[in-house]
Chains A and B, each alone.
Chain A
Amino acid sequence: MVEVEQQAEEQRPVAGFVPPDGPRTIEVTEVSKWYGDVVAVSNVSFAIGPGVTGLLGPNGAGKSTILKMLAGLLTPSMGTVRVLGEPVRANPGLYRRVGLVPEQEVVYPFLTGREFVRLNAILQRLPDPEAAAAAAIARVEMTAAADRPVGGYSKGMRQRIKVAAALVHEPEVLILDEPLTGTDPLQRLQLIKLIRSLGAEGRTVIVSSHILHEVERLADQILVLVNGKLAAAGDYRAIRDKIDEHARRVRVRADDARTLAAALIRLPALESVRVDGDAVLIETGDVRDLYRAVPKVARELGIRLYEVTALDDSLASVFAYVTAR
């Protein structure tokens, strides 16, 4: 599906993107969640099927609230949530088929990684918890560190052991809340590969992130959430093209910012270039072209790059743009 649907002013729920004849493993219907006067999620509807779906939105957009409602941790103030055709609240039996990687980093620090995953296998009543734990640990490439206490793990290792724990019972539906947070580039690559393979196996995987390019590598289908409302839903490329239509600001730090700025100004889609200390501040209409050009130009000129940061990428401005359209 390539359509992009924008939520209308009257807050019409955005339709999901399950093919008409496809299975609907997760169905969210007119769901709202509020805490006192604060509305965390407002009248959100979508349905998704097998494969990887990205839940994209800036911090505070309501992504975690939605995922917690999908996992049955929170009761919606209004609306219904069904997973695999069943209600999720007060339905512990459903957890045989569902796994969650929560957002928080804390994992029992006194357990080893293997003990933690095995505990999950035992609680899932698997016939051979040892073997299931070993297989899940191997799948996230944590075998070498599995017998060390989790308290000594890096953030990325904790994320991976949480994924192993959520995968140990081979769930049909996997909910991952910001699973790439704190991972180094290599770990990120491994997790992205793993998440994509889970989707390819026919599982329904929903992954939240506030980083646009992270989701691009993870999921073809995305839901964009802004201020608790579903702003867009559909194929990632179609939404990205819409986002890429507006100028984007990028900061490049280099050891010779002036020379780099002078070289970059020739790029066709550039709208403005400004040097600020060791940084070049660029506004462009084609950020992907810029990302390709910067390392190439720097290499040709022998300039060392320290940092390339998208100043409004993944931030509220991008999502605000989506909602404003």
Chain B
Amino acid sequence: MSITRRAPILWLTLRQFRAGRATLLVALFAATPVLFAAIFRWSSETGDAAEFLTNQFLEILAPTILPLATLILATNALGNEIADRTLVYIVLKPVARSRLIVEKFIASALVTALAFTIGLVATWVVASGGSGSGRMLGALLAGTLAGVAAYGALFLLVSLLVPRALLVGIIYVLIWESALARFIPGIKMLSVRHFAQSVFVRLLDNPAVRLDRALQLSSATIVLAVLVIAALALATLRLRQMNIP
């Protein structure tokens, strides 16, 4: 059975992404680490690739690039349909609201994850000259995918709660995730970046790499899973109750 019949909302959303510019923006975000890796390799032939990749993930990718890129498609998935009023074509169907939300979430997470997987593999190859450790690549991908899932669910919910979700999301990323969570310990524990960073650090399992108050892999995974499920459940509830103009 084709994806059109098995998951029609997912298929529709992927077609929407293919037709729009948002996917291009996500691809640009995903390509940024490759650019940084190229600059690193060009400026320092003897530099430590593992250290570069670790710092890049912990300081730039997890707190800023990843949430901003995820924000674009997650708010686009339903937000655009609310804005242009095409949401009516899918909500007036005998389809459970939870299914609608989950397929929208999968579509945005899938495209963002795919873009970052390609970007991170390229980054890893460029930074390490193709001889880097597989553990590093695995940790990068796992930390990134965890971040994509959590940020994706959170921003999908935001797109159903506020009219200018993209703007609200940018403010959240730049103030909460990138600035406050960096310096204030209490906020750090309430930021998605910290859980994604914990996944990365635990999978890397390198004593030289330390993250303040890092969670165990199992704890970080459970918290992220609960966050995703809670955000999707709230989004479902919101979609059930909201008036659709």
Contacts and interface: CB of A to CB of B under 8 A. Distances in A.
A94 B89 CA distance: 15
Nearest to A122: B8
Nearest to B95: A123
Contacts of B85: 102, 104, 106
Given A73-B243, A73-B244, A109-B19, A123 B84 contact: no
A125 B1 CA distance: 13
A129 B84 CA distance: 26
Contacts of A119: 4, 8, 11-12, 89
B16 interface: yes
A110 B244 contact: no
A115 to B, nearest CB: 8
A92 B95 contact: yes
Given A73-B88, A108-B12, A123 B18 contact: no
21 contacts: A68-B245, A73-B243, A74-B243, A74-B244, A75-B243, A92-B96, A94-B94, A95-B92, A98-B92, A100-B88, A102-B88, A106-B86, A107-B86, A107-B89, A108-B89, A110-B16, A116-B89, A119-B12, A122-B4, A123-B8, A123-B94
A96 interface: yes
A165 interface: yes
A204 interface: no
A92 B94 CA distance: 5
A71 B96 CA distance: 16
Interface in B4-35: 4-5, 8-9, 11-12, 15-16, 18-19
B90 interface: yes
Contacts of B91: 73
Contacts of A93: 94
B243 A120 contact: no
Nearest to A162: B89
Contacts of B5: 122, 129
The list of the 8 closest CB pairs from A to B, nearest first, reads: A110-B19, A123-B93, A73-B244, A104-B85, A122-B8, A74-B243, A96-B94, A95-B94
Given A73-B91, A73-B243, 6 more contacts: A71-B88, A75-B243, A90-B241, A94-B94, A98-B92, A106-B85
A38 to B, nearest CB: 14
Contacts of A100: 88, 92
Interface of B: 4-5, 8-9, 11-12, 15-16, 18-19, 84-86, 88-97, 240-241, 243-245
B86 A120 contact: no
A134 interface: no
Contacts of A111: 12, 15
B234 to A, nearest CB: 16
B128 to A, nearest CB: 40
A165 B89 contact: yes
A73 B147 CA distance: 34
Interface in A43-81: 68, 71-75
Contacts of A108: 12, 15-16, 86, 89
Contacts of A94: 94
A187 interface: no
A281 to B, nearest CB: 39
Contact of A106 (B15, B84, B92): B84
A90 to B, nearest CB: 6
A124 interface: yes
A123 B95 CA distance: 7
Nearest to B96: A92
Most A CB within 10 A of own CB, among B5, B88, B241: B88
Given A74-B243, A92-B97, A124-B94, A110 B18 contact: yes
Contacts of B93: 92, 95, 120, 123-124
A108 B18 CA distance: 12
A142 B19 CA distance: 24
A129 B8 CA distance: 12
B238 to A, nearest CB: 12
Interface string A102-139: 10101111110000101110111100010000000000
Contacts of B245: 68, 73
Nearest to A100: B92
Contacts of A71: 88, 92
Contacts of A107: 86, 89
Nearest to B88: A102
A123 B6 CA distance: 10
Contacts of B92: 71-73, 95, 98-100
